Structure 1
Amino acid sequence: MVTWFATPSPTPDGPTVDELKGTAEHWFDWLLGAPLQTLVAVVAGVVLLAITRWLITRTVRSVVSGGAKVRRQAKRLLLKTPVRGALDSDSDPLAVARRVQRAETMGSVLRSTSALVIAIVVVTAIANINDWDLGPVLASAGVLGVALGFGAQTLVKDWLSGLFMLIEDQYGVGDVVNLGEASGVVEAIGLRVTQVRDLSGTLWYVRNGEVLRVGNMTQGWSRALVEVQVPPDADVDRAVEVLRAAATEIVADPELSPHVLAEPEVTGFEDLRAEAVMLRTIIKVAPAKQWVVQRALRARIRERFAEAGISMALPRQLFVERGEG
């Protein structure tokens, strides 16, 4: 009788089911860990950047388009100033160009700043997720930042000054300004320099960081001011009435009336000297229209004074005759 014994068959080489299951769980856990968290951080940063850029664009445009009008209306209500003409900034090409430039510049700066901040936050989050050691990188960046800070102090000063000038709306394209060394019409505003064209046609490039004061002659409203000197023995009351009549004619002029914002003010005895008495006429006008109104007012005053027989004061001259010897 022959007895057969069953021998176990050899198993094929390779991982078992348990090993395959453990490997799959390991890779799945890894995928749900750092890679997925990194992807979520990047996607969240991109979405946040898109939302921030959209909000900045809408906010800057609304502030630039409506802020100036709201401030003018509030000032009129507080001062209760009678307004004859209309300052329609929407139809003024210079005002439109000014708002567009402010909107584009401020929007560009804010979008760039938000992108930089969000990028730093995302990189920091990714570094924490992946356990990166950023110590050497931060140390190197700190040394480089200090070196660049010392070398770019003037550039940073100009950039910050230009940014605050735009935010505060100190002046814009088309304004006539006095910046100290340069005076004229503003042709362009940048974050580093402002371009000003003076009366002779010279284009000045003024660094924003060097501007210590700004005199804006055409912001909000302007004043046409004409001073007249009459002899001290003249009838001052009559001269004041003639001045008031001339100013009233200017206000009623069809070409000049749209530029006038308030009734004229005529005052006498603004200055009293031995050779003359000064009279003053002031008319509140739209921005940058004071020179046109002043020229017309001077011509009208000359005509009315000639008709009324009122003479202008002549500069006093003193001659000293010395005898011989």
Structure 2
Amino acid sequence: MLDHLPRATTNPTPSPTGTSVGDEIGDALTKAPGERSGWVDWLVGAPLRIVVIIVIGIVLLVVLRRIIASFTERIAREPRTDLGGALLRVTNALEDERRAGRARTLGSVLRSTISIVIGSIVVMMVLNELGVNLAPLLASAGVAGVALGFGAQSLVKDFLSGIFMLAEDQYGVGDTVSFVDVTGTVEEVALRVTKVRDLDGTLWYLRNGEILRTGNLSQGWVRAMADFRVPYDVDTNHVRSLLTQAAEETAADDDISPVLLAPPEVFVVELTDDHLLYRLQARTNLSDRAAVVRALRTRGLEALTSGGIKLVTANRLVVQPPRT
């Protein structure tokens, strides 16, 4: 009965151009790249590639920085190994601290270098995606780099010297060092300058590129020496026996023996017009040298005095100008 009634039909709302919005989006996504609309090409083109470049750069930077940080921390915390693989335990806490500081400083330099390199590459790739011609930019950067290189030669020299100085462990914070004109204690070591405080309390700023010769008194051992001037008319064998006895007593001292790295020795080091210069010396650490010197000097003087030997004193001749 209802077959003769017209059926309702649903037609999509026509767009102003005669097609539906859904049809436009579907056609835009299914068309070939050359047939898509402009805004779709722009969206899936340069902006998407720029985002991908930035994301890859950030991920690569984070991964490399973590690898460098992990490697440097491992060097700073673990003891050194020899070629055979046996562990060499470092018992000196100062050496551990210096090695850790040196490793972390070099790690900081590597992380900064990686950040600059990856950042520069990402910026150039983004500019290329934005349609910027990189040829004039690279040419200008090359000219500017040459000019900057000539103008900053001393700065580059300071940084390279600082890197090699840290890598070779020439000196560290707390070391007593002697440069050409400055002798003192190192208070800070950086890539460009080294801060040294001398015996008078003056703080010196030394550029690493200008440090040509360095004497480190804190690495390894130093000699503690005590000198005695004895007249020529005294029997040499008698003097040597007395000083040898003093050296043995010093080595047997419970306070001095633990800090000695070798038994004390007796030498004749100088011949002058009126005396022989005898020397008591022993190997020790820099921090203990003053105590060892005092012990050698005291026991040597006591031994010579008990043997009836008078030492030669340094005479000073003062010449006064004639009165007018």
Q: TM-score, normalised by structure 2?
A: 0.75
Equivalent position of 2:117 in the other structure? 117
**1:2-81 aligned within 5 A:** 13-15=17-19, 20-25=25-30, 26=33, 35-65=47-77
Q: Is the 8 A contact 1:87 1:286 kept in 2?
A: no
Aligned-residue offset at 1:215: 0.8
Mark the CA change 1:257 to 1:54 in structure 2 (over 3 Å): closer, same or farther.
Answer: farther
Distance 2:184 2:49 in 1: 57
Mark the CA change 1:179 to 1:249 in structure 2 (over 3 Å): closer, same or farther.
Answer: same
Aligned-residue offset at 1:212: 1.1
Equivalent position of 2:263 in the other structure? 263
Q: Is the 8 A contact 1:176 1:288 kept in 2?
A: no
Aligned-residue offset at 1:110: 1.7
Q: Is the 8 A contact 1:222 1:289 kept in 2?
A: no
The answer as to 2:160 corresponding to 1:148 is: no
Q: Tell me whether 208-217 or 135-144 shows the greater mean CA deviation.
A: 135-144
Q: Which amino acid aligns with 1:189?
A: V
Q: Is the 8 A contact 2:75 2:100 kept in 1?
A: no
Distance 1:20 1:183 in 2: 79
The CA RMSD measured in Å over matched residues stands at 3.5
Count how many residue pairs are aligned between Structure 1 and Structure 2: 291
Q: Which amino acid aligns with 2:277?
A: M
Aligned-residue offset at 1:148: 2.6
- Note the residue ranges of structure 2 that are not aligned, 5 or more in a row: 1-12, 318-324
**1:195-214 aligned within 5 A:** 195-214=195-214
The structure having more radius of gyration, on CA atoms, is 2
Query: Deviation string for 1:4-50 (max 9, x for gaps)?
Result: xxxxxxx9534588875452143788777655554443333323222
The answer as to 2:297 corresponding to 1:294 is: no
Equivalent position of 1:8 in the other structure? none
Distance 1:87 1:24 in 2: 67
Aligned-residue offset at 1:87: 8.0
SS at match of 1:283: strand
Q: Tell me whether 177-186 or 160-169 shows the greater mean CA deviation.
A: 160-169
Distance 2:274 2:307 in 1: 21
Q: Which amino acid aligns with 1:238?
A: H
SS at match of 1:288: helix
Query: Deviation string for 1:91-121 (max 9, x for gaps)?
Result: x5xx565445434432322211111122233
Mark the CA change 1:64 to 1:292 in structure 2 (over 3 Å): closer, same or farther.
Answer: farther
Mark the CA change 1:125 to 1:249 in structure 2 (over 3 Å): closer, same or farther.
Answer: farther
- Note the residue ranges of structure 1 that are not aligned, 5 or more in a row: 1-10, 78-85, 319-325
Equivalent position of 1:89 in the other structure? 92
Equivalent position of 2:9 in the other structure? none
SS at match of 1:174: coil
- Determine what percentage of the aligned residue pairs are the same residue: 45
Aligned-residue offset at 1:189: 1.5
Equivalent position of 2:3 in the other structure? none
Distance 1:42 1:187 in 2: 41
SS at match of 2:287: coil
Q: Which amino acid aligns with 2:306?
A: E
Mark the CA change 1:37 to 1:249 in structure 2 (over 3 Å): closer, same or farther.
Answer: farther
Q: TM-score, normalised by structure 1?
A: 0.75
Q: Is the 8 A contact 1:265 1:282 kept in 2?
A: yes
The answer as to 2:281 corresponding to 1:282 is: yes
Equivalent position of 1:244 in the other structure? 244
Mark the CA change 1:61 to 1:295 in structure 2 (over 3 Å): closer, same or farther.
Answer: farther
Distance 1:45 1:309 in 2: 83
SS at match of 1:266: strand
